[in-house]
Every structure is written in C-alpha cells, then in structure tokens.
Amino acid sequence: MVRKLEKRAPLDDFDREALASLSFRRKIYEPSSYLVREGTLAEEITLILEGLVYRQKLTQEGSRQIVSVHMPGDFVDLENSLLRVADHNVQALTRCEVAAIPVREIIALIDTHPRVGRALWVDTLIDASIYREWIMNVGRRPAKQRLAHLLCEFAARLRVAGLTREDGYRLPMTQEQLGDATGLTSVHVNRSLKALEADNLIVRRRQFVSIPDWERLRQASGFSGLYLHLDQEA
C-alpha cells in the first residue's frame, strides 16, 4: 500500500512511519455482501487486500448501474469518509479481504501529513478520471465496443495488480453484472460477447478471458490507457 501511494506523491520517512502506524482491522466480505450502503455514514476506510469489489447505484425503478470496479490496492471509501453520507452502495464481487482503518485516524493523518493527503487525493482523482471514461463508454459506444473497452480497462488495471497472465485474465463477473456495468441487458451482453468471440477478439472459457491479440482488441474498442494515469509518478 505504501508502495502504491509513493507513486502518487513523494513521501518521506516521517510520512511512511505515520502510514505504518495506522491501526486497522482485517475483515472478510462474502460475495455480494455490502461494504457500504447508500445513505449511511462511514466510520472506516477500507483498503482492498484481496478480491474484487464494485460500486453500484439503483434508479427509482430498480435498475442497477455499476459505476466502478475496484481491485487489490484500491481504497474504496475515501469519498464516504470525507463526504459523510454515502451516495451509493459498495458490494463485494468476489470473496474479499480488506483492511479497515478508522476514519478519525485518516483525517488526523492528512491534517498532519499533507503529502500523504495529496497522495490519497490523487488516488481519488484517478477514480474520477475512470468515471469520466465510463460516462463516455456508456453514452457513446455501441454494445460490442463498450464491452471490449471494459475488458481492456480491466486488463490494464489487473496487470498493475499482478492479476493477469500473458494470455488473458480471470474475470469473475456474471453477464448480468457486465450488463449493469455497461448499461446493457444480460441477454445483449451475451450476444455481444459471442460476437466479439466470433471476431476472434476474445476467447472465453468459464470465468477466464483470453485475448489472442491485445493490439487488435485495443484498436477495436478505442481504448487508450491515458485516463488510467498509470504513469503517475511523483
């Protein structure tokens, strides 16, 4: 975690020490259990150690929209700790392990260690950048491309987390969840994935996605990793 934050902003020993001395509780969440519920106050910040997690909102009518997916190394609750009441839900996608840090401690930390605060801030700015790309994905791309783009983004981010293999990666999402993330129906996700497969852009086996030719998929989806700010150095 400290290693990741250092990529966001320069830290000194004083900062690192403060980070290391944060108290935290290890917690396990089962698939589809809630880490945060809309309308509640957050008292802990959680850092994902293992597993995947997603943010989700519901319309009045009850349709679900997944607005982001998070991976090991991501913080999922910086927003809720500073904004008090949560405006969305966070659920476990897979079984996952997290570190829960009391909000008070984080707030105290950022007030006394500005550089740590800045590193965390940068983290939320990258999340925001990903939101912007998702708006475009859902608003302006046709179904096939939308899914291909999502697969590219996951590939890039999972690679950073060390969760990809040379030929592809494990994607533990149902087609219904993919639909909720892309603004499509599960039926149409199914057909679109088959179409991608027919184009030889992806190969699916169980929950594993193989990508025979990264460059071709990238090109087909219009993906450009710029918005992930993976280069983010001090």
Partner DNA sequence: CGGTACGTTGAGATCGGTCAAAGGTTGTGG
Partner DNA sequence: CCACAACCTTTGACCGATCTCAACGTACCG
- Positions that interact with a second copy (CB under 8 A): 38-39, 55, 57, 59-61, 63-65, 67-68, 78-79, 82-85, 87-88, 110-115, 117-118, 121-122, 124-129, 131-136, 138-141, 182-183, 222, 226-227, 229, 232
Whole-Å CA distances, 192 to 64, 150, 171, 187, 224: 20, 13, 16, 9, 21
- 141 DSSP 8-state letter: S
Structure tokens that stand for 93 in this block:
């996608």
Q: Which of the ranges 87-95, 118-126, 180-188, 213-221 carries the binding residues for DNA, by CB under 7 A?
A: 180-188
The pair of three-digit structure tokens given for residue 75, joined into one six-digit string: 């913080």
Q: In whole angstroms, how close is the CB of 182 to a second copy at the nearest point?
A: 7
Applying CB under 7 A, among 16, 27, 188, 229 the residue interacting with DNA is: 188
Using DSSP, state whether 43 is helix, strand or coil.
coil
3-class SS of residue 24: coil
Q: How far is the CB of 181 from DNA (least distance, A)?
A: 12
174 binds DNA (CB under 7 A): yes
Out of 144, 149, 157, 218, point to the residue binding DNA (CB under 7 A). Answer: 144
Q: Are 153 and 141 in contact (CB under 8 A)?
A: no
Paired with 53 in beta bridges are 70, 92
Task: Output the smallest distance, CB 13 to a second copy, in A.
Answer: 17
Cβ neighbours of residue 125 under 8 Å, at least 6 residues apart?
A: 229
| 33, 124, 186, 210: residue in contact with DNA (rule CB under 7 A) | 186
Binding site for DNA (CB under 7 A): 142-144, 174-176, 183-188, 190-194, 204, 206
